[in-house]
Amino acid sequence: MLRYPLVVLLLLGSAAAASAEDWPGFRGLTRQGVSTETGLPLRWSPTENVAWKTPISGAGWSSPIVWGKRIFLTTATDEGTSCHVLALDAETGEVLWDRRVFGQDALQKREQNSYASPTPVTDGETVFAVFGGGGVAALDFDGNMLWTNRDFDFYSEHGLGASPILYKDTVIMTFDPSSRTGRAEKIGWKVPWNGAALWALDKKTGKRVWEAKRGPSRLAHVTPNFMEAAGRLQLVSGAGDVIQGFDPDTGERLWSVYSQGEGVVPSIVVGGGLAYSISGFEATTIRAVAPGGKIVWEQTRSASHIPSMIYDRGLLFNMHEGGVATCMDAETGEVIWQQRVGGQHWASPVLADGRIYFLSEAGETIVIEPGREYKELARSDLGERTQASMAVSGGRLYIRTADHLWAIGPR
């Protein structure tokens, strides 16, 4: 088992310890899209290097998560009104159980979104899932319902895209909506408002432990992250027009800095003592922020609206949804190289086995070697549409498409 830093152990809380192969939430254990796995496949096709593929009913762009021999993912059936959590056997792809957790209204959303876009998270004992209406459900590994919380009445012109994260004995979820009653005036979408909040729920009961209000902001779908500063852990969270730091124990807002943009999607990435954010639609800008809220640098070249970045050894790697890959110096923001790789890209990349895997909407994966020069290693095409970010575990890549969950790797 790997020795994890304090920040990772706090994410897991008091539940089972993660193994080196687990992928317990959106973008993995540290929310960075980075895996320690080795021996991963470089090339595949629908008939080559596929351990199994399993049909998935309904629709959803949440990523699969993996703990041990279990895979969990969410989906919404009946045109988005019926919310489900599924468990699969990681060895065979067999669906072990499919639990309907609650119903929801099929509200407004962007075409690229779904009613099951937030990726679930697990501590090794319980699976926590969030759906498009803001409802949260907790289930054990056998599919038994433990609790639900539907107290936040979420509405957004874009739908809900942020994913829950864990901290000690709480589940933290960001809600950055727009106004249901102020649609005509575009309140919360084009006009800032005070409707956004961060919630921490008790993992055992689902009851709210704390609530943090953002202040004036606009809609977003950003999954937050943690960074350490002067021996203190901060929760770094971005939204429309703001990047903010919070005390994860109490919800106290520690700092806030202006970052123009709405519909912000890319998750927060940390490295080298800085947090990196992309400001979404409208004046799209990549910003490096120091603890306390000081902007260290910002740049606009090929900043993505949807995919999150990869941080690796002082470099940032970014994929614009229009198919342009960029490498930047993480300390200065200097663009080192850009390469048009083609395709539309909504999924966030992963770094594993010394390679970066970019996954396009058409189901093509472009594999490159991370470094100061662009070096493409392989391309592989499944031929099925996808917008979900892949998971990495047990020597395999797990790719969710519109119709299937694929296990790429040895049988």
pLDDT of residue 106: 76
Specify the fold of 6-408: Methylamine Dehydrogenase; Chain H (2.130.10)
pLDDT of residue 21: 80
**Can you give the pTM of this predicted structure?**
0.95
Residue 162 pLDDT > 90, yes or no? yes
Question: Measured between alpha carbons, how far is 126 from 175 in angstroms, rounded to an integer?
Answer: 22
pLDDT of residue 1: 33
Question: Measured between alpha carbons, how far is 385 from 12 in angstroms, rounded to an integer?
Answer: 33
- Give percent above pLDDT 70 in the chain: 94
pLDDT of residue 354: 97
pLDDT of residue 112: 74
Residue 277 pLDDT > 80, yes or no? yes
Averaged pLDDT, 172-182 = 95
Residues 6+ apart with CB under 8 A from 137: 83, 85, 101, 102, 128, 129, 130, 131, 145, 147, 148
Question: Measured between alpha carbons, how far is 3 from 192 in angstroms, rounded to an integer?
Answer: 43
Please state the length of the chain: 411
Question: Measured between alpha carbons, how far is 17 from 15 in angstroms, rounded to an integer?
Answer: 6
pLDDT of residue 282: 87
Of 150-154, 181-185, 202-206, highest mean pLDDT: 202-206
Residue 15 pLDDT > 90, yes or no? no
Question: Measured between alpha carbons, how far is 128 from 149 in angstroms, rounded to an integer?
Answer: 11
**Spatial strand order in the sheet of 315-319:** 310-312, 315-319, 324-329, 335-340
Residues 6+ apart with CB under 8 A from 303: 278, 279, 284, 285, 286, 318, 320
Residue 154 pLDDT > 80, yes or no? yes
Amino acid at 311: Y
Averaged pLDDT, 181-188 = 93
**Confidence band, pLDDT 50/70/90 cuts, at residue 102:** very high
Question: Measured between alpha carbons, how far is 123 from 18 in angstroms, rounded to an integer?
Answer: 8
358, containing H or E segment: strand 355-359
Q: Which of 133-137, 205-209, 218-222, 279-283 has the lowest mean pLDDT?
A: 279-283
Is the backbone of residue 272 left (phi > 0), alpha (psi -120 to 50) or beta?
left
Question: Measured between alpha carbons, how far is 271 from 313 in angstroms, rounded to an integer?
Answer: 8
Averaged pLDDT, 18-27 = 83
Contact 327, 305 (CB under 8 A): no
Query: What's the whole-number average pLDDT of the chain?
Result: 93
Amino acid at 106: A
- Tell the residue number behind the tokens 């703001």, with chain if given: 242
**Confidence band, pLDDT 50/70/90 cuts, at residue 8:** low
Residue 26 to residues 180, 181, 257, 304, 325, Cα–Cα distance (Å): 28, 31, 25, 18, 21
Q: 11 φ, ψ to 5°?
A: -65, -40
CA atoms within 13 A on the CB side of 101: 32
| DSSP 8-state secondary structure symbol assigned to residue 84 | E
**Confidence band, pLDDT 50/70/90 cuts, at residue 233:** very high
Averaged pLDDT, 389-399 = 98
Averaged pLDDT, 93-104 = 96
How confident is the model over 339-375, as pLDDT tens digits? 999 999 999 999 999 999 999 999 999 999 999 999 9
Q: Which of 81-90, 112-121, 192-201, 328-337 has the lowest mean pLDDT?
A: 112-121
Residue 16 pLDDT > 60, yes or no? no
pLDDT of residue 104: 86
pLDDT of residue 7: 54
Residues 6+ apart with CB under 8 A from 387: 61, 112, 346, 347, 361
DSSP 179-193: -STTTTTTBTTTB-B
pLDDT of residue 3: 38
pLDDT of residue 19: 53
pLDDT of residue 2: 39
Question: Measured between alpha carbons, how far is 177 from 152 in angstroms, rounded to an integer?
Answer: 10
Averaged pLDDT, 33-48 = 97
**Confidence band, pLDDT 50/70/90 cuts, at residue 265:** very high
DSSP 313-348: TTEEEEE-TTSEEEEEETTT--EEEEEE--S---SP
Pull the structure tokens for residue 267.
């998750």
Residue 325 pLDDT > 70, yes or no? yes
Question: Measured between alpha carbons, how far is 406 from 55 in angstroms, rounded to an integer?
Answer: 9
Averaged pLDDT, 45-59 = 97
How confident is the model over 60-77, as pLDDT tens digits? 999 999 999 999 999 999
Residue 4 pLDDT > 70, yes or no? no
DSSP 101-132: EEE-------TT--TT-SPPEE-SSEEEEE-T
